[in-house]
Structure 1
Amino acid sequence: MKFIIGFFMAWGNFITLPCPYKRWDSTLKNMMLAFLPSVGAVVGLLWMGLLWLFRQLELPLLVGGLVMIFYIFAVCGFMHLDGFMDCNDAILSRRPLEERQRILKDSTVGAFAVVTLAFLLLGWFAAMTEALPSLDYGALLLLPVVSRGVSGLHVLTCVPIGHSQYVKDYEVPGRWKYRAAVAAQLAVWITAAILLSVNLSRTLVMTAVITVSGIFSCSYARRQLGGMSGDIAGYTICISELAGILTLAVW
């Protein structure tokens, strides 16, 4: 029963679509984080359906690209974009650590957030419209799964910033089992994506690029901001997913 509650807690917290089973247990927040790859799979499966619909309707390429990009951000309530913007405001300010942490918590939007958001969306639009005609269903499923898996593993492993919502959960013993659960889900969904992929080598390269870019971007943000947080998790997802779609476009 706890697994079911944990999964739907993740659904309700990280996806804006109506949650089939609304139940919250504050003692299961680590389990909620452990289900991030499966939440990514829900996002990816719906994204696959959107791609199929785009191809059936034969929409113009630029319109299809816009719809596909809007979906991936809107389905999670633009939550990860918010973290991306907050982190860039703080990191690019080049202030002392205490000031960077204050900026990270500030609800106002700074110039660095706006500029980096513009380049992120331009990169996504250019890459998606280029990749769309030959986009692989397996790769599309895997992109949000791996990005969220890498991000979730960091939240479950790394020391949080003092003001992070995950401070108390980090102190709970036995967190290794949640990291193991993330790894097991990644293995399952990667296997499923491989079976769906037409171009297996491209899917595997994309997976490697997402993983490496996620690790490096999260490590950089943690060094700059003094620990892990939900904003850094969103920052990691945004950068690793952009790296993934760029890989598909360049290939």
Structure 2
Amino acid sequence: MGFRGLISFLTIIPAGGKFEYAPRYFYLVPLIGLIEGLIAASPLLISKPIGAALSTALTYLINGFQHMDGFLDFGEALLTGRRGEEAVRVLKDPHRGSFALTLGLIDVLLVYSSLLSMGKETLITLPITEAAAAYVMFTTAYLGKPSEGGLGRLFIIEAKGNVKLTSSTLLYAAIIVAVPLLYHWGALIILITITVNALISELVALLTVKLSHSRLGFVNGDVLGFSFELSKVTLLTIYSALGYLLTVH
């Protein structure tokens, strides 16, 4: 019931469930990232340009643009250079400024060009990237100080605890090993994938929490969305650059 509620809250999939139980199952979010990635990767089975475009659109549509919204809000707060209450006002301003619009354009272009430049390996890299981004979101919540209000506060509070962190980490590790194995990737390529995912996941989570604490004084739902989107676009860009190593023959 709670996991279904988590799916319904984080995606546009009508899974049912009850939202009040969803934050308790937040540690399972890498599995939702995997589901999102598998759905988003499906158009890549058709002609490349349109398939990449549809796949790019699905990476945002499947979660109802929640993560992109947080990416734009917190990204704009960062780029203004404001701190404290002034940064919070920028974060909560419903109007998009030039910083937010530029960030959104850069993000979409990088995601699309990365998916377009890769071959069949995108069917692997996109699902594990989405799972990684979801794990980064959970880790950011685990490390962050919750805000005084907002829905994000519930998820951040429920993310605390070493048992939940360990469970989420093991689930995430299983995904980034199992998916490449299903496509018969070699041990060296899987090792590269694990290393890249682990490094980027840790760096993005730590950086996001540090920036959020220094600028806002807390972590909220927008910051979690920012960490998801930043890790997603970073990983896809890296995988695109490493495409010649990951090519599936």
* TM range, smaller chain: 0.7 to 0.9
Q: Residue in 1 aligned with 2:18?
A: 24
2-structure distance, mates of 1:248, 1:186: 18
2-structure distance, mates of 1:190, 1:228: 27
* Residue type of the alignment partner of 1:11: I
CA displacement at 1:163 relative to structure 2: 3.5
2:10 aligned to which of 7, 11, 14: 14
Q: Residue in 2 aligned with 1:179?
A: 165
Q: Is the 8 A contact 1:44 1:141 kept in 2?
A: yes
2:223 aligned to which of 218, 232, 238: 232
Q: Is the 8 A contact 1:137 1:196 kept in 2?
A: no
Q: Residue in 1 aligned with 2:144?
A: 158
The within-5 A match list for 1:33-48 is 33-48=26-41
Q: Is the 8 A contact 2:209 2:219 kept in 1?
A: no
1:142 aligned to which of 122, 128, 148: 128
Q: Tell me the TM-score normalized by structure 2.
A: 0.85
Q: Is the 8 A contact 2:83 2:216 kept in 1?
A: no
Which shifted more, 209-218 or 237-246?
209-218
Q: Secondary structure at the match of 2:96?
A: coil
1:25-82 per-residue CA deviation (whole Å, 9 max, x = no partner) reads 52x343232121111121122234333x32xxxx1x3222211101111100111000
- Judged with a 3 Å threshold, the aligned counterparts in structure 2 of structure 1 residues 96 and 24 are, in CA distance, closer, same or farther, namely same
Q: Tell me the TM-score normalized by structure 1.
A: 0.84
Q: Is the 8 A contact 2:77 2:90 kept in 1?
A: yes
1:75-129 per-residue CA deviation (whole Å, 9 max, x = no partner) reads 0011100000101221111223111012212222122111111111122222221
- Judged with a 3 Å threshold, the aligned counterparts in structure 2 of structure 1 residues 178 and 221 are, in CA distance, closer, same or farther, namely same
Which shifted more, 79-88 or 220-229?
220-229
Q: Residue in 1 aligned with 2:112?
A: 125
2-structure distance, mates of 1:65, 1:49: 10
Q: Residue in 2 aligned with 1:188?
A: 174
Q: Residue in 2 aligned with 1:208?
A: 198
What is the aligned-residue identity percentage?
20
**Aligned-residue RMSD, C-alpha:** 2.3
- Judged with a 3 Å threshold, the aligned counterparts in structure 2 of structure 1 residues 62 and 216 are, in CA distance, closer, same or farther, namely farther
Residues 1:219 and 2:213 aligned together: no
Which shifted more, 176-185 or 212-221?
212-221
1-structure distance, mates of 2:180, 2:37: 14
1:83 aligned to which of 67, 70, 81: 70
Q: Is the 8 A contact 1:87 1:221 kept in 2?
A: no
Q: Secondary structure at the match of 1:35?
A: helix
Q: Secondary structure at the match of 2:94?
A: coil
Q: Is the 8 A contact 2:153 2:221 kept in 1?
A: no
- Judged with a 3 Å threshold, the aligned counterparts in structure 2 of structure 1 residues 209 and 241 are, in CA distance, closer, same or farther, namely farther
Residues 1:243 and 2:234 aligned together: yes
Q: Is the 8 A contact 1:164 1:228 kept in 2?
A: no
1-structure distance, mates of 2:19, 2:122: 38
CA displacement at 1:221 relative to structure 2: 3.2
CA displacement at 1:196 relative to structure 2: 2.6
CA displacement at 1:246 relative to structure 2: 0.7
Count of aligned residue pairs for this structure pair = 237
Q: Secondary structure at the match of 2:81?
A: coil
* Residue type of the alignment partner of 1:204: I
- Judged with a 3 Å threshold, the aligned counterparts in structure 2 of structure 1 residues 127 and 185 are, in CA distance, closer, same or farther, namely same
- In structure 2, stretches of 5+ residues that fail to align are 243-249
- In structure 1, stretches of 5+ residues that fail to align are none
